[in-house]
Chains A and B, each alone.
Chain A
């Protein structure tokens, strides 16, 4: 059986209330008890900020591909009459999307959503065959029309429409016996189709002992000054908070002085103002009440554990989840003797008449003064709480669903025709009348997201810099090389698609740059779908930062998003980068670390990233994932840039005649060119016959060194500067040199060291962790920043070289780009 759960109840404002908690817990319990049944959760894309937290909640319970997001143009809230057309389109769109998942049964965790938010729920508008079950929490507005329906016609219309949908449900899950009876009596729903699935609380709601420090932190945060009486929950009229305040005000002065009344949880500001005014009217002073505002679950559990008494005066509940939560945490609980609360609390001694302030006050006084009674309430409450379990609730629900599916008589919609049926329904109902092209575009894009063409999963490789300009730095070499390997050997389940973005338009496009056959057609925007993967391989800070929202939207859709981090140098060594570079890098890192995995190009960079992350407060719903892989270095297997200048042969000959030391890398402060040049000037001055070949473009903040190089007397005699040469030429220069000098003070990886080893070229490297990681015992190392120190080291090295006693690099292990690409994919869990 395939169960599709509509979990919008955990996306709307209900997520801050019992309905949201109930929806999540019930869905979780259905998944854990589903045995051979398949569960798919569907979410509404019009609540983008809620999707990642819900995905995280089900992370280890459900494959991420079983969490599907549907799209529709918004806004659709019923509160605004102008949304009617859009909402009706959204209702059909949602039903078509769910039908396309071919469910055996649909479970709507909360039907009464969408009045003041963008939730969309309906039953039987397009799909009239799939059984739908719905949790029925309560019918409070129907039973209290004067309070809820009559003052607001729009709400009444909305509510009555939802009731009609409710009556079309194949099954109802009532959350209590009281709620079950309400449905039977109020809407005459067939008795045999309603089941009391009851409710429960998460296992985290339990007794715990708080340390003094924890208690102090909590009471300080919420401005609680003494032992306290606790209330948690909403503030609508039925919650009866006015009477609670008046009852509290009628307690003896001594009791009030000893006990503060704390309202925990999110209460709208206007309600707080009203309650404070009520308190003032009742003669209470400011400190006697406390409003905590939003609290997280951990704080809520702590408050339940710390309170002297928990009071729940609501006169109408479907279940009364806070009561069960409080009892599970070992709080002494008293509550109203109305609707579902007596069955939840299961103890007549704990009940009071919610319409009598005196009765409420008497019960509070009794419990606060009689410790035996209080202990008895705690004991009985803990025992009663054990009767409720989500597993029990879920098993009842699953059994009912199985039964409904087995008796299903109508044929399901044919998946091939769903989109066509939807389009026909939209047109036949006149919902697209007067629709502009603009509106049709937006709708078409939503439908394309909802009904993607069958295709293999795609692995998007970000090559933005290669497409937008190609800075031809080391990063672009890596990008080209890894991309080449992935295109040659794509992972089994994926098509590899190079893509690029810009900072000027939202979205990434497929690039044809690496296709064998290109056409003049403009590059298409990517059509991502659940299960696709995006790897941010290339480096364009501003593009990634500008595309942040787009990437977040992709993640919501179920696309895994990983980034490769090459180094943290602009942050760690700000002085050797231009102004703003560190800040730009920081902003980029703070974006990329919000996504799934950050893949570093060495263990050393990973360590630096983890340390940096500790200094940041980036909000995540899941654990921060990092990993590292090593880069490849087989020049023949990349897409090398080609081309030799006319004088190449002559220059290469000159390099061969005298021992040539090679430096590879952009001319920038951290690369150590200045020190190396100083060292060689001293060597030349001392008559040592050596060449220095520098391969690298002009970077930044090195104007003086650049000028010096260009005007150097030894230029093209003993000093050679190769600016922006091709990979082909670089390889030849390697072949004509005897030693690589890696003088950089900071690197992400150190590719030149491996390339040197491939050419069996010895290495003289600065002693930094990344060079040790890459070259290990197969390189000679130097310390110090003076030219003289390095000159001495070079002299020593030359002596050893002449005697063939220098350290050789041949045995140094290195990876091919194919191995590197495989390692990257393996560590990201891509097969």
Chain B
């Protein structure tokens, strides 16, 4: 179960926080500014702490969909074999045409 502040966080807040976390992680110098900002937003503070300490804990990776961009090497070994079969079937069809 997520703790209450996460349940009440809005979508836009979530996006802002995610962006901030990425930024702060890339630019440690800005951590102080972030810490200062955190004083004014307990929700933000909790969320940021959680992110920085625990990684993207409640920001689960999404499962593949047809819209998700994937590379050949991200397929399982079996899937790559089927991809090659598909390719060869397509090529065979082209040749026979």
Q: Using a CB–CB distance below 8 Å, which chain A residues touch chain B?
A: 48, 73-75, 86, 419-420, 423-424, 426-428, 432, 437-445, 447-448, 451-453, 503, 505-507, 522, 524-527, 541-543, 545-550, 552-553, 578-581, 583-584, 586-588, 590, 616-618
Choose one: A432, A507, A541, A586; the contact of B90 (CB below 8 Å): A432
Report B56-97 CB contacts with A as 1/0, cut-off 8 Å.
111111111110111111111111111101110110110000
Stretch of B11-19, B21-29, B47-55 at the chain-chain interface: B47-55
Choose one: B54, B66, B87; the contact of A580 (CB below 8 Å): B54
Collect the chain A residues with CB atoms within 8 Å of residue B58's CB: 545, 587
Question: Closest residue of chain A to B65, judged by CB?
Answer: A74
Choose one: B50, B53, B64; the contact of A506 (CB below 8 Å): B64
B2 in contact (CB, < 8 A): yes
Collect the chain B residues with CB atoms within 8 Å of residue A506's CB: 61-64
Collect the chain A residues with CB atoms within 8 Å of residue B65's CB: 74
Min CB gap A26→B, angstroms: 31
Min CB gap A293→B, angstroms: 21
Question: Closest residue of chain A to B85, judged by CB?
Answer: A423
Q: How far is the CA of A219 from the CA of B53 in the complex (A)?
A: 47
Flag if A444 contacts B82 (CB, 8 Å): yes
Q: How far is the CA of A729 from the CA of B33 in the complex (A)?
A: 46
Min CB gap B76→A, angstroms: 4
Min CB gap B59→A, angstroms: 7
Q: How far is the CA of A506 from the CA of B60 in the complex (A)?
A: 9
Decide yes or no: A423 and B86 within 8 Å by CB, A546-B61, A583-B3 being known contacts.
Answer: yes
The interface on chain B, measured as residues whose beta carbon lies within 8 A of the other chain's beta carbons, has a size of: 44
Flag if B54 contacts A522 (CB, 8 Å): no
Decide yes or no: A546 and B53 within 8 Å by CB, A432-B86, A583-B46 being known contacts.
Answer: no
Flag if A424 contacts B89 (CB, 8 Å): yes
Decide yes or no: A503 and B79 within 8 Å by CB, A424-B89, A580-B50, A617-B1 being known contacts.
Answer: no
Flag if A541 contacts B64 (CB, 8 Å): no
Flag if A542 contacts B56 (CB, 8 Å): yes
Flag if A541 contacts B62 (CB, 8 Å): no
Collect the chain B residues with CB atoms within 8 Å of residue A586's CB: 1, 3
Min CB gap A732→B, angstroms: 36
Flag if B76 contacts A441 (CB, 8 Å): no
Q: How far is the CA of A616 from the CA of B57 in the complex (A)?
A: 18
Collect the chain B residues with CB atoms within 8 Å of residue A579's CB: 49, 53
Flag if B82 contacts A542 (CB, 8 Å): no
Flag if A441 contacts B56 (CB, 8 Å): no
Min CB gap B4→A, angstroms: 11
Collect the chain B residues with CB atoms within 8 Å of residue A581's CB: 53
Flag if A590 contacts B74 (CB, 8 Å): no
Min CB gap B84→A, angstroms: 9
Collect the chain A residues with CB atoms within 8 Å of residue B59's CB: 546
Question: Closest residue of chain B to A554, judged by CB?
Answer: B63
Min CB gap A674→B, angstroms: 24
A–B complex contacts, Cβ < 8 Å, 13 sampled: A75-B66, A440-B87, A441-B70, A441-B79, A505-B74, A522-B73, A542-B56, A545-B55, A546-B59, A546-B61, A547-B61, A549-B60, A590-B1
Collect the chain B residues with CB atoms within 8 Å of residue A549's CB: 60-63
Collect the chain A residues with CB atoms within 8 Å of residue B78's CB: 448, 452-453, 527
Min CB gap A635→B, angstroms: 32
Flag if A584 contacts B57 (CB, 8 Å): yes
Collect the chain A residues with CB atoms within 8 Å of residue B53's CB: 578-581, 584
Q: How far is the CA of A437 from the CA of B59 in the complex (A)?
A: 29
Question: Closest residue of chain A to B70, judged by CB?
Answer: A441
Choose one: A427, A503, A553, A588; the contact of B89 (CB below 8 Å): A427
Choose one: A428, A505, A578; the contact of B93 (CB below 8 Å): A428
Flag if B60 contacts A546 (CB, 8 Å): yes
Collect the chain A residues with CB atoms within 8 Å of residue B55's CB: 503, 541-543, 545-546
Decide yes or no: A542 and B57 within 8 Å by CB, A441-B72, A617-B1 being known contacts.
Answer: yes
Collect the chain B residues with CB atoms within 8 Å of residue A444's CB: 75, 79-80, 82-83, 86
Q: How far is the CA of A445 from the CA of B49 in the complex (A)?
A: 37
Flag if B70 contacts A550 (CB, 8 Å): no
Choose one: B1, B2, B60, B76; the contact of A525 (CB below 8 Å): B76
Flag if A48 contacts B63 (CB, 8 Å): yes
Q: Using a CB–CB distance below 8 Å, which chain B residues touch chain A?
A: 1-3, 46, 49-50, 52-66, 68-83, 85-87, 89-90, 92-93
Q: How far is the CA of A452 from the CA of B82 in the complex (A)?
A: 10
Q: How far is the CA of A552 from the CA of B62 in the complex (A)?
A: 11
Flag if B50 contacts A584 (CB, 8 Å): yes
Collect the chain B residues with CB atoms within 8 Å of residue A432's CB: 86, 90
Min CB gap A99→B, angstroms: 17
Collect the chain B residues with CB atoms within 8 Å of residue A553's CB: 63
Sorted from nearest, which 3 A-B pairs have the closest CB atoms?
Answer: A542-B55, A584-B54, A448-B79
Decide yes or no: A616 and B1 within 8 Å by CB, A453-B78, A542-B54, A584-B54 being known contacts.
Answer: yes
Q: How far is the CA of A432 from the CA of B83 in the complex (A)?
A: 12
Decide yes or no: A442 and B90 within 8 Å by CB, A448-B75, A503-B55, A587-B2 being known contacts.
Answer: no
A48-B63, A441-B70 known, 16 other contacts, Cβ within 8 Å? A74-B65, A427-B89, A438-B69, A438-B70, A441-B74, A448-B81, A505-B74, A524-B76, A527-B76, A542-B55, A550-B63, A583-B46, A584-B50, A586-B1, A587-B54, A587-B57
Min CB gap A759→B, angstroms: 37
Min CB gap A144→B, angstroms: 35
Collect the chain A residues with CB atoms within 8 Å of residue B70's CB: 438, 441-442, 445
Q: How far is the CA of A384 from the CA of B78 in the complex (A)?
A: 56
Q: How far is the CA of A428 from the CA of B94 in the complex (A)?
A: 10
Q: How far is the CA of A553 from the CA of B85 in the complex (A)?
A: 26
Collect the chain B residues with CB atoms within 8 Å of residue A616's CB: 1
Collect the chain B residues with CB atoms within 8 Å of residue A445's CB: 64, 70, 75-76, 79
Collect the chain A residues with CB atoms within 8 Å of residue B2's CB: 587, 590
Q: How far is the CA of A401 from the CA of B89 in the complex (A)?
A: 37
Q: How far is the CA of A504 from the CA of B76 in the complex (A)?
A: 17
Min CB gap B51→A, angstroms: 9
Interface centre among B50, B69, B92 (most CB of A within 10 A): B50
Q: How far is the CA of A451 from the CA of B86 in the complex (A)?
A: 14
Q: How far is the CA of A441 from the CA of B66 in the complex (A)?
A: 9
Min CB gap B14→A, angstroms: 15
Flag if B1 contacts A441 (CB, 8 Å): no
Q: How far is the CA of A545 from the CA of B54 in the complex (A)?
A: 9
